[in-house]
Structure 1
């Protein structure tokens, strides 16, 4: 059985974080919490890894660091999707992290708690992890961008929109830091849980079958966008049948109304969950557009 202690000690050499004074794994795995996550609970046993590299049974939420050969001084925190039922590491997070490394960005891949894996924090657990991860990466890096896919886009979009929301009680001095980010990238994200876009697994996992309109509104990213929202990059295929393309159009229009810099890449075909996209297809074009956007924005 993988306990949190075994997870930390088995992740490689340890280094001291100057911000928290705690021991964290170096280069590979950085546990999010100094002890139990807020509220406690959670699953037991081994991490579940599917044939395509998707994770579930998240015993110890963490960030995995990927270091580039020629760092440009900026970092991207990545959250893969999976409808809050699993996390698509193999198809989304890891390939994107390695690709970002080739462009000089230090990449951090977030393994966040899944709300129905017996965590006492319930649907707040992933948001707690995202806020904590942003604080951790901010303590290491000069600039912090976030990049989320599908449900991971929903998660990081919410975290970016609500940096002042205290989703958990402070655990250590690191939590005195406001978890602001420098930009937000969302690829085929779930943005809204409101009518008539209630068919997603994200909706089911976060608010349930019998959610009230108030519940749905409170977990919809667009309702928290203000003029202080970070510059935003969006990409989605027009034939996405999992997360309606209305999601990115809604987010673009909301950003524009609030005078937030925003760019939307509308892809002719690619469906949902294409990650970096297959070479030679329309879905393979968003990544270079994203890096150019980061460079132009910076």
Structure 2
């Protein structure tokens, strides 16, 4: 690495760290909100009462899914859809989505943070609801932006991985003319993602919430992202720590292999340690390097 690259990497790392250390509980004060659906979401049902946000910024009980828009001072004409993880039990906004969105906005990208419905919160459409929201979000963003990529963490990586690979899947009946437009991403970054639900990787909260402990091998395969990779899948950026205790480190290897088999460009970054849920990087671990690598990759693949 030459001196110029080192300084650029250091600046990106410091910027990412600053946003990661922001007060998660305060929530976003510099964003606007766009509802995903006009009225009741597909299927109906869902939780009652208001949203629940913990002191660390974990969001749940979302009855009205939406997009929070973080606009840069100097827009570069490119957008990123961001989804936090949380095992489909919650969304780790404070540790993942909000810091990432603010960091992206500082770089000139318009960031859209997805507040999606959680399948365990009494929705009639059950395990389809999160994917319905992700596909609708892509359609909304595409109606406003020319270039759209996605950035998903953990279970949010699983969700946006499915959205990026299953572009022909109709997860809900059309609600309005917008639903006749395509829902696809131009590039996808998946950070410590859950990729496969197939044995022996079926002990995650993602597996439990989406298909249940007694799911058939066919059901596990249907909800595994790697099985939907085709030659039309967008370029992938993958990040994981090799000591990840939640999402087996094999997940990124499985996804990279699927992409390579279909000749899909893939840029994978694996770090010796850092665990799971490190967001924009865990201080004291090599995971602090991933935002700089992602910025370089995003600049190369986000052609307006």
In 2, the alpha carbon distance for the partners of 1:246 and 1:75 equals 30
> Given the alignment of the two structures, is residue 179 of structure 1 paired with residue 173 of structure 2, yes or no?
no
Who is 1:82 aligned against?
A: 86
Superposed counterparts of 1:188-203, under 5 Å: 188-203=192-207
Deviation at 1:278, TM superposition (A): 3.2
> Given the alignment of the two structures, is residue 281 of structure 1 paired with residue 297 of structure 2, yes or no?
no
Deviation at 1:102, TM superposition (A): 1.2
Deviation at 1:51, TM superposition (A): 1.6
In 1, the alpha carbon distance for the partners of 2:257 and 2:269 equals 13
**TM-score with structure 2 setting the length:** 0.88
Q: Secondary structure at the match of 1:71?
A: coil
Compare relative contact order (CA 8 Å, sep 6+) and give the higher one, 1 or 2. 2
Tell me if the contact between 2:195 and 2:252 (Cα under 8 Å) persists in the aligned partners: yes
Q: 1:160 aligns with which of 164, 168, 171?
A: 164
Q: 1:29 aligns with which of 33, 37, 42?
A: 33
Deviation at 1:267, TM superposition (A): 1.2
Who is 2:12 aligned against?
A: none
In 1, the alpha carbon distance for the partners of 2:286 and 2:73 equals 29
Q: 1:266 aligns with which of 265, 270, 275?
A: 270
Who is 2:11 aligned against?
A: none
- 1:56-113 CA-partner distances (Å, limit 9, x unpaired): 1011100000001111100000000000000000000000000011111000000000
> Given the alignment of the two structures, is residue 209 of structure 1 paired with residue 218 of structure 2, yes or no?
no
In 2, the alpha carbon distance for the partners of 1:76 and 1:279 equals 25
Q: Secondary structure at the match of 1:124?
A: helix
Aligned residues: 273
Q: 2:49 aligns with which of 45, 49, 52?
A: 45
Q: Secondary structure at the match of 1:147?
A: strand
Q: 2:116 aligns with which of 97, 112, 115?
A: 112
- 1:136-189 CA-partner distances (Å, limit 9, x unpaired): 011111100001000000000001111111110000111011101100100000
Deviation at 1:295, TM superposition (A): 1.4
Tell me if the contact between 2:128 and 2:171 (Cα under 8 Å) persists in the aligned partners: yes
Who is 1:11 aligned against?
A: none
Q: Secondary structure at the match of 2:46?
A: coil
Who is 2:9 aligned against?
A: none
In 1, the alpha carbon distance for the partners of 2:146 and 2:300 equals 18
Deviation at 1:50, TM superposition (A): 1.1
* Worse-superposed segment, 42-51 or 26-35: 26-35
Who is 1:233 aligned against?
A: 237
Deviation at 1:27, TM superposition (A): 5.4
Who is 2:3 aligned against?
A: none
Q: 2:153 aligns with which of 140, 149, 153?
A: 149
**TM-score with structure 1 setting the length:** 0.90
Q: Secondary structure at the match of 2:208?
A: helix
Who is 2:64 aligned against?
A: 60
In 2, the alpha carbon distance for the partners of 1:296 and 1:267 equals 22
Q: Secondary structure at the match of 1:235?
A: strand
Gaps in structure 1 of 5+ consecutive residues: 1-25
Root-mean-square deviation over aligned CA pairs: 1.1
Deviation at 1:281, TM superposition (A): 2.8
